[in-house]
Amino acid sequence: MFFSLRRLQARIEGGPRDGRVLSEQGRVAIASALGVSAAAVAATAQRLSAVDQSLNASAEGVDGGIVEWQDRLADDRSDPEIVAMPKHDVRRRRTWLKAALNELSLRERQIINARWLAEMGETLESLGRRFGVSKERIRQLEARAIGKLRRSIAARIERPDDLFVSA
């Protein structure tokens, strides 16, 4: 619409208007030709007639001092570090957990996966039937595996080279 407005304005109102206000009839005719509302044409014409100003131009600051216009613009985006850190932390924890799980025996890993990492955790009783042991034995194996996981992850956290794991 920006490109068509001046051309249509010159054709409808007879020549360039050089910043003069677009007439009501002109707005309606241009809106009809472009298939937009007269208000949209008026808003676009106003933006086109505005004078560009450098962001480096001086302006009065809040405290009365002189600042540049660009200093008055608010940046609503989050700090990139704040955005990146949770993702980095998740990757780091996932790496630690994966390494710790690999240190478990196959049966311990299967029990932890079935009880804690599956969408619907299995009961001690069902795991006992699957492995052919009592549910109390499954509970003991699970407790031992969780202890190993905690120790393994704690050891990784204390090593400075593991603080910046790339995933």
**What pLDDT does 44 receive?**
80
**Residue 33: which of 59, 14, 11 has the closest Cα?**
11
CA dihedral 103, 105, 106, 107 (to 10 degrees): -140
Domain ranges of the chain: 2-72, 80-162
Q: Is the pLDDT of residue 165 over 50?
A: no
Q: What is the mean pLDDT of the chain?
A: 82
* Entry pTM: 0.47
**What pLDDT does 166 receive?**
46
Q: Each residue of 56-94: pLDDT tens digit?
A: 888 877 777 888 878 777 778 888 888 888 888 888 889
The matching CATH number, chosen from 1.10.10.10, 3.40.50.1110, 2.40.40.20, 3.40.50.150, for 80-162 is: 1.10.10.10
Q: Which residues contact 46 (CB under 8 A, 6 or more apart)?
A: none
**Residue 103: which of 55, 146, 52, 41 has the closest Cα?**
146
Please name the helix (run of DSSP H) or strand (run of DSSP E) that holds residue 66, with its range, or none.
strand 66-68
For the segment 156-161, the average pLDDT, to the nearest whole number, is: 67
